[in-house]
Amino acid sequence: MSGQSLKKLVVYYSLEGNTKFIAEVIADKIGAELLELKPQTEINSRGFLKYFVGGRQSLFKQSPKLESLTKNPQDYDLLFIGTPVWAWNYAPPLRSFFSSVKLSGKKIALFCCCQGQKGKTFAEMRKALAGNEILGEKEFFNPLNNRNENKKTAEEWAKQIISLII
Ligand SMILES: Cc1cc2nc3c(=O)[nH]c(=O)nc-3n(C[C@H](O)[C@H](O)[C@H](O)COP(=O)(O)O)c2cc1C
């Protein structure tokens, strides 16, 4: 398949902008479309309470209702799926996504943003995405704190993923 005809989508959730930053860098580099997952009720990103509210959502494996998806992931050949790490796991809006969109036979690359403790994030994403081909995974440490270096790393990684399939 040529790079031009390959349909690429970056799906992500981001509370504080780090995952959004990486998602946009990847999409820009490889010419992919973007699909942001937005909970109907977002938690307050300011203050310490977010760790309690979000951490509890994650530990109890909750699936917050999402706003309607603006793109159909089934229409794409290659998906990058990104999440912040919440309580050593992927963030709950991703759980809502995995249960509402049953992906199979897709090529998928995983990325996460965290402060250094990703725990079982990728293992759990792989479980939720069984039946797809996972091409790679990459973690970023609060990339907004070091934009230039993380931009470069994300671009190189995205190119490497693309080179695996074309
Ligand atoms: C509710 C909550 C739980 C978190 N749990 C973890 C964690 O278990 N491990 C970790 O390294 N960082 C954890 N973090 C930090 C975020 O993963 C990190 O700041 C990430 O870059 C945020 O991405 P975002 O800006 O796209 O929301 C947590 C943050 C929140 C809000």
Does residue 144 fall inside a structural domain? yes
Other C-beta atoms within 10 Å of 9: how many? Answer: 21
What pLDDT sits at residue 4? 62
φ, ψ for residue 36 (rounded to 5)? Answer: -90, 130
Does residue 98 fall inside a structural domain? yes
* Cα–Cα dist 104/74, whole Å: 9
Mutate to test the pocket of ligand 1, among 86, 113, 150 (most ligand atoms within 8 A of CB): 86
The boundaries of the domain holding residue 22 are: 8-163
CATH number of the structural domain spanning residue 157: 3.40.50.360
What is the domain count for the chain?
A: 1
Burial of 29 (C-beta count, 10 Å sphere; 0-12/13-18/19+): middle
Distances (CA, A) of 10 to 13, 56, 76: 10, 27, 10
Mutate to test the pocket of ligand 1, among 115, 139, 150 (most ligand atoms within 8 A of CB): 115
Does residue 2 fall inside a structural domain? no
The pLDDT-based confidence of 1 (bands split at 50, 70, 90) is: low
pLDDT digits (tens, 9 = 90+) for 4-57: 689 999 999 999 999 999 999 999 999 999 999 999 999 988 888 999 999 999
Nearest C-alpha to atom 18 of ligand 1 is from which residue?
Answer: 114
Does residue 83 fall inside a structural domain? yes
